[in-house]
Chains A and B, each alone.
Chain A
Amino acid sequence: MCQPSGTTELAEIGNQAVRGPDFSNVFDEFQRPIYNYLLRLTQNHAQAEDLTQETFIRVHRSLPTFRGDASLTTWIYRIATNVSLDHFRRRATRQAKAALSLEETQSEREWVVDENAPAPEQVASQSEMSDCVQRFIWRLPPSYRTVMVLHDLQGLKNREIADVLDCSLHTVKIRLHRARKKLRAILDAGCDFAHDERNVFVCEPKQTETEEAGG
């Protein structure tokens, strides 16, 4: 069984599996990672909050039947992942319906890389880095993005991710490898980035040839 990658509190929660973990303890332990997981997937604070609420409502409902067959960490991440997938499916359906009823917007939509991508202003508010850079992660296929967020930002191990996504360890490794390669290619194509003389990570959008010629 995978062990939760957390603290002694987690171990205690796991030990409670026989009689059922306490919901408030589970919430205290997981509210921050699950909120950040969903924020990184949606890049929208309001949506992340709604999806976190839905995740913990489902956790509350299912906790009495949790028997510890999976680790609590992978069990809760699996619920959060399913909640996010439901959200993106509903959103894609709404957008498809809107697209059908608004033919005049078709030409504008052709450039969109990912139907689930957040609006630029939502992305820009996430940090002080330029919004053009932040949109790049949305060019990753969703399955790659999820694995990369789980591994490189949430800190889950490949084995745990395989349990969360119900796929093989081999699949996780391949997706992570490809996601990192794509991210690198995207960054290479769109940005100049390096550590400056103060060792601060800096990033600037690359100038196009036209801009360089005109500038």
Chain B
Amino acid sequence: MNCTETREIIHSYLNDELEEQLLAGVVSHLAGCSGCRRELGNLHTSLDWLRKTYPEQAPPGDLWEKIQGAIETR
């Protein structure tokens, strides 16, 4: 597997969605290619940023009451 082929499926690799044969090809290529390892690292960093920037938050505590009220008045 070369760099072009690896980068075409590197997102699937990141998503843990590759079949065994392709997975083995990517792993083997990454072991010997610093450029593709850097690309993978960049992807990890972007996703890290995304999850830090948009953390999960608790919904308002009175959501159920408001929805019940809205359902009853419609």
Judge whether B42 is part of the interface by a CB distance below 8 angstroms. yes
- Which listed residue (A127, A173, A193) contacts B55, Cβ 8 A? A127
B30 to chain A, nearest CB (A): 17
A-B interface, 7 closest residue pairs, ranked by CB to CB distance from nearest: A35-B59, A184-B46, A56-B67, A177-B11, A40-B54, A36-B56, A183-B46
Chain A interface residues toward B at CB < 8 A: 27, 31-32, 35-36, 39-40, 49, 52-53, 56-57, 60, 126-127, 129, 133-134, 137, 148-149, 151-153, 158, 173, 176-177, 180, 183-184, 187, 193-194, 201, 203
B15 and A158 contact, CB distance less than 8 A:
yes
Judge whether B43 is part of the interface by a CB distance below 8 angstroms. yes
B58 and A187 contact, CB distance less than 8 A:
no
Chain B interface residues toward A at CB < 8 A: 11-12, 15, 17, 42-43, 45-60, 63-64, 66-67, 70-71, 74
Known interface pairs A32-B58, A177-B11. Does A201 touch B63 (Cβ–Cβ under 8 Å)?
no
Q: In the bound complex, how far is the Cα of B46 from the Cα of A137, in angstroms?
A: 11
Q: In the bound complex, how far is the Cα of B57 from the Cα of A126, in angstroms?
A: 10
Closest partner residue, chain B, to A33 (CB atom)? B56
Closest partner residue, chain A, to B69 (CB atom)? A53
Closest partner residue, chain B, to A38 (CB atom)? B59
